[in-house]
Chains A and B, each alone.
Chain A
Amino acid sequence: MPLGPPSSAVFIQNTAPGFISTPGRPPTSVTVHPVALFSILDHYLRRTDAQERVIGTLLGTRSDNGEVEVRSAFAVLHSETEVQVAVDMEYHRTMYDLHHKVNPKEVIVGWYSTGSNLNTYSALIQNFYSQETAPHQAIHLALNTGVEEGQKAGVQAYVGSPVGVNPKPENCVFVPIPCELRFNDAERSGLDLLTSNLSDSVNATFTNPSSDLELLERSLVSVYEMLDRVLSYVQSVLSGEVKGDAAIGRYLMDALGPSTEDLERGEFNSHLQDTLTVSYLANLVRSQAEVSARLALVKAS
C-alpha cells in the first residue's frame, strides 16, 4: 500500500531475489507500521507554538535484502533557529535505552520530521543520525500532515547520499526510496476499529468496540453488496447493454463456479456437529462455574 500521493520518482534499487545487502549499502525500501505513524502525528499535535516542525528517532529492524522496517518512533527535543539547529542527544540516548529494554530487537534506523521541506538542517541531522546507525545508513522519513493548504498528507522516505566536490556534511542529496505501510493481523484489527467510522461523518471521532457477531454481520453485508454488483454487471452483459470483458468473465467463473458438494457431505456435517458440541459445552461450563460460586456463599451451619 503506497503511502502518499503518487510521485514521478523513479526508484533505482536492486531488488533482485537473492540480493543480500552489505552493511555499507543504502536501504532499498522502507515499510512503516501504523504505531510509528500515530506517534509522529501525536508528537506533531503536541508541539509548542514556536516549533514549525518536529523531529524524532525511528526504531525498527533491518532485513537482509536491504529492506528497513520501521516499528516505532519517539520524539526528540530539538530547536531550530535561523542560525543553528540543536538536537538533544542526551535525551535521544535515554529514550533509546528505555525502549531497548522493552524491545531488544529494535534498533535505531533513522529519523523523521514533519513537513516535507529538506534543507541544510536536514542534511546535518541526517549526518548525525548516520553516525548513530553506523555502519548502516540512516533513513529519513518526511511525513506531511496535510494540515497546510495545498499539501497532501503522505509519507516519503529518503536516503542521504553525498554530492558535490567537497564531502561536507551539509552537502547531501536526499534520494527517495519506496515506502509502504505494512501491518500484521493484530494491527489490522486495530486499524479496522479505528477506520470503521471514518465514512460516517457524524460520528467520525468515536467508535465503540463491537462484538464478534456484529463485525461478522458487517463483513457479510459487504460481501452481499459485492455480489449484488457482480449480479447487475452480469445481467447487463447478458442483456447486451455492456460489452462483456472476457477476462472478467473467466475470473468470475473461477471464483464462483466450483461447487463444494463432495467436500460438504463428508466433513461439513461433522464439523457442524463439533461446533454445536463446543457451544453446548461452553454454556455448560459457564453455568457450572456460576453455580459453584454461589455454593461457596452458602453457609453450612
Chain B
Amino acid sequence: MAAATSMAAALAASLPAPQAAPAPSAPTYEAIPASMAKVIDIEAEIPITSVQLDAIVVSKITKHAKEAPGSSAHGLLLGLDLDGTLEVWNSFALPHHSNDDDDKSAKGVARYQSSMLRSLKEVQADDSVIGFYQGMTLGSFFNQTLVDTQAIHQERLRHGGVVIVHDISQTARGNASFRAFRLTKAFLDAYKRHNFSTSSLIDHRLTFSTILEEVPLKIRTNALVSSFLGALSEATPSTTTQSSPALATSSAAIPPSYSRLNLGTGNTARNLEMVVEALDNYKTEEGNLAYLQRQIARERAKAEAYVAKRKEENATRIAAGLAPLPEEDVSRLFKIPPEPSRLESMLLLGRIDAYGKSLEETASTGLVKMYAAKANAGN
C-alpha cells in the first residue's frame, strides 16, 4: 500500500504539475461615471424632449420632396439620441413603390434599405435608423400609411421613432417647414388593440388632435457648413461703394430673396378644392358608419326579440307544465357585426383641420401684404 502510494506520488511528481486553469477573469462592471451618464444611455431611459436636424438633412429632404412625383416623398432618418435630444445627422430617400405588387415591393424596399445602410457604414456615416420623413402638400399628412409606419417604428426603434413632416407647398412659398411628430400613448394603445370603436375612443379620449403630439424641432448647422456658407454669402465690395456708401449693394453668392412679398393668391384655389374633397370623403365615411351602426342596431334588436320570445315561450310552457326549452346561445344564431372602426373618419377630420389651418395662414399673410401695398399706394 505504501509502495503504491509512493509510486503514485512518484508518478505524480514526474508529471508536470497541472496548471490550475486560469480562472476566467470575471467581467468587471464599472459604473458609468456620472458625467457621461447623460451621453451613454444604454437603457434608453432619458425621454426625448426635442429633435435636432442637421443642415444636410434639411437640404436633402427639400430636394427629394421637390423631385418626387406627387406627394410621395418618403425616406429614413439616421442619427442618434443624446441627452434627451434626438439628433438627426443624415437621411436617405426610399424608392417609391406602387401599391399593386405589395409583396415584391416591400421586399425590394427592405433590400434597398439594408444595402444603403451597409454602404453608409463603410464610409463611417451613421447607420442607426431613428425615424422617417414624409413630404406632403398643404397639410395633408394624416393618412393611414403614416400612422402604420410610425406605429411600427415606435415599437421597434429605441425611443420610438419620430416622423418629420415637410410641407412642400409652404416651402415653395418661402418658409421651409419641418415638424416632428410622435404618436401619443393613448393612440398607440388603441392601435395595438385594433379597436377604434366608439367606446374605445371615449376611453382613450381620442380626437384627431390627440393622435400625434408635436416634438419641438431645431435646425443645427455645424461649424464647417456655417463657415462655408458664410464665406459664400459675404458681400463683395463693389466699386460704387466708394462713391456712395449709402447705396452699398451686396453681390453675395446667396442674395436675399423677397419672394415672400409676392401678392399672388398662392395655392388658395387648390387648397379650397382639397378642403371640399376631404369634406366629401368625410361625409361618405360618416354615411358608411351610420349604415353600419343601423345594421348593428337591427341585428341586436332581432336578437333581443328572439330572446324575449324564447322567455315568453318558456313561461307559457312552464305554466302548461312542460319542460322549458333551452335558451339557446343567441350569439350563434344572430351574427352581430362588430363595431366599425372610426379611425378613418378621425384621420379625415384631422386632414380637414390641417387644410383649414394652412388656408388660414396663407389668408393672414395675404391680408398683411395687401394692407402694406395699400399703404404704399394710397398715400
Q: How far is the CA of A101 from the CA of B92 in the complex (A)?
A: 12
A102 interface hit (Cβ, 8 Å)? yes
CA A98 to CA B95, docked complex, whole Å: 9
Q: Which residues of A contact B171 (CB under 8 A)?
A: 185-186, 189-190
Q: Quick one: which of A48-76 are within 8 Å of B by CB?
A: 48, 71-72, 75-76
- With A223-B258, A223-B261 in contact, do A282 and B246 touch (Cβ < 8 Å)? no
- Of the listed stretches A19-27, A29-37, A163-171, name the one at the interface; the rest are far from the partner chain: A29-37
Point out the residues of chain A lying under 8 angstroms from B174, CB to CB: 185, 188-189, 192, 215
Whether the Cβ atoms of B115 and A98 lie closer than 8 Å is yes
Q: Which of B270-316 contact A (CB under 8 A)?
A: 272, 275, 279
Interface residues of A in 6-48 (CB under 8 A from B): 33-35, 37-39, 41-48
How far is the CB of B97 from the nearest CB of chain A, in Å?
A: 10
Within 8 A of A (CB), among B114-137: 115-116, 119, 122-125
Partner of A276, one of B199, B207, B367, B378: B367
Residues of B near A293 (CB, < 8 A) are 207-209, 346, 349
Please tell me if A250 contacts chain B, counting CB pairs below 8 Å.
no
Say whether A186 contacts B65, CB under 8 Å. yes
Does chain B have a CB within 8 A of A146? yes
- Residues of B within 8 Å of A276, CB to CB, are 363, 367
The answer to whether the Cβ of A83 comes within 8 Å of any Cβ in the partner chain is no
A35 to B90, CA, bound (A): 12
B372: chain A residues within 8 A (beta carbon): 220
Known contacts A34-B59, A210-B175; decide if A245 and B243 are in contact (CB<8 Å). yes
A133 contacts partner chain B, Cβ-Cβ < 8 Å: no
A194 with B58: in contact, given A185-B172, A275-B367 (CB under 8 Å)? Answer: yes
Are the C-beta atoms of B254 and A191 separated by less than 8 Å?
Answer: yes
Q: Which of B56, B172, B259 has the most CB of A within 10 A?
A: B56
What chain B residues lie within 8 Å of A146 (beta carbons)? 227-228, 231
Determine, out of A119-127, A134-142, A257-265, the stretch whose residues face the partner at the interface.
Answer: A257-265
When each residue 326-363 of chain B gets 1 if its CB lies under 8 Å from chain A and 0 otherwise, what string results? 00000000000000001001100110110111011111
- Contact status A248-B258, CB under 8 Å: no
Which residues of chain B in 22-64 are interfacial with respect to chain A, using CB atoms and an 8 Å cutoff? Answer: 52, 54-56, 58-60, 62-64
B198 within 8 A of A: yes
Residues of A within 8 A of B346 (CB): 293, 296
B178 touches A209 (CB 8 A): yes
A47-B124, A285-B352 in contact; A193/B218 too (CB < 8 A)? no
Q: Are A206 and B228 in contact (CB under 8 A)?
A: no
Q: How far is the CB of B114 from chain A (nearest CB, A)?
A: 11
Known contacts A187-B66, A268-B370, A299-B202; is-contact A259 B275 (Cβ 8 Å)? no
The smallest C-beta distance from A45 to any residue of chain B, in angstroms, reads 6
Q: Indicate if A292 sits at the interface (CB-CB under 8 A).
A: yes
Q: Does A219 have its Cβ within 8 Å of any Cβ on chain B?
A: yes
Min CB gap A183→B, angstroms: 8
The reply to whether A102 and B244 contact each other, CB–CB distance below 8 Å, is: no
Interface code A281-293, partner B: CB below 8 Å = 1, 0 otherwise?
A: 1110110111011
Residues of A within 8 A of B95 (CB): 101-102
Interface flag for A131 (CB, 8 Å): no
B47 to chain A, nearest CB (A): 21
Chain A residue at smallest Cβ distance from B255: A1
Contacts of A84 in B (CB 8 A): none
- The yes or no answer to A81 lying at the interface (CB within 8 A) is no
Cα-based distance from A243 to B205 in the complex (angstroms): 72
B229 touches A1 (CB 8 A): no
Is the C-beta of A118 less than 8 angstroms from some C-beta in chain B? no
A297 touches B207 (CB 8 A): yes
Q: What 1/0 flags go to B5-36 for Cβ under 8 Å of A? A: 00000000000000000000000000000000
The A interface is mostly helix, strand or loop, or mixed, namely helix
- Check if A103 is an interface residue, CB within 8 A of chain B: yes
Return B190 CB to nearest CB of chain A, in Å.
Answer: 13
Which residues of B from 87 to 108 have beta carbons under 8 Å from A?
Answer: 90, 93-96
In the complex, whether B232 has a CB less than 8 A from a CB of chain A is yes
What is the minimal beta-carbon distance from B284 to any residue of chain A, in angstroms? 14
A239 at interface (Cβ–Cβ under 8 A)?
no
Residue numbers in A under 8 Å from B119 (CB-CB)? 91, 94-95, 98
Q: Is the CB of A46 within 8 A of B123?
A: yes
How many angstroms from the CA of A212 to the CA of B345 in the assembled complex?
29
Q: Are B172 and A215 in contact (CB under 8 A)?
A: no
Which residues of the partner chain B approach A285 to less than 8 Å between Cβ atoms?
Answer: 275, 279, 352-353, 355-356, 359
Expressed in whole angstroms, the minimum distance between the Cβ of A48 and any Cβ of chain B is: 6
**Is A246 positioned at the interface, with any CB of B under 8 Å from its CB?**
no
* A186 near B62: Cβ-Cβ < 8 Å: yes
The answer to whether residues A282 and B62 also contact, given A46-B123, A198-B226 and a CB cut-off of 8 A, is: no
Closest 3 A-B residue pairs measured CB to CB?
Answer: A279-B363, A282-B359, A293-B207
> In the complex, given contacts A215-B174, A216-B261, A230-B246, what are 18 additional A-B residue pairs having Cβ atoms less than 8 angstroms apart?
A35-B56, A41-B225, A145-B228, A146-B228, A147-B224, A185-B171, A188-B259, A189-B62, A191-B254, A193-B176, A209-B178, A223-B258, A232-B246, A233-B244, A264-B374, A272-B367, A282-B363, A292-B349
B interface residue numbers (CB < 8 A to A): 52, 54-56, 58-60, 62-67, 90, 93-96, 112, 115-116, 119, 122-125, 168, 170-179, 198-199, 201-202, 205-209, 217-233, 243-244, 246-247, 252-261, 265, 268, 272, 275, 279, 342, 345-346, 349-350, 352-353, 355-357, 359-370, 372-374, 376-378
User: Interface on A for B, CB 8 Å cutoff?
Assistant: 1-3, 33-35, 37-39, 41-48, 71-72, 75-77, 91, 94-95, 98, 101-103, 145-147, 152-154, 181, 184-195, 198, 204-213, 215-216, 219-220, 222-223, 229-230, 232-233, 236, 242, 245, 248, 259-261, 264, 268, 271-272, 275-276, 278-279, 281-283, 285-286, 288-290, 292-294, 296-297, 299
Pick 21 A–B contacts, CB within 8 A, sort by A. Answer: A1-B255, A38-B225, A39-B56, A41-B56, A91-B119, A94-B119, A102-B93, A146-B228, A181-B232, A186-B65, A189-B173, A191-B229, A208-B217, A210-B175, A212-B361, A216-B368, A230-B246, A261-B377, A285-B355, A292-B349, A293-B346
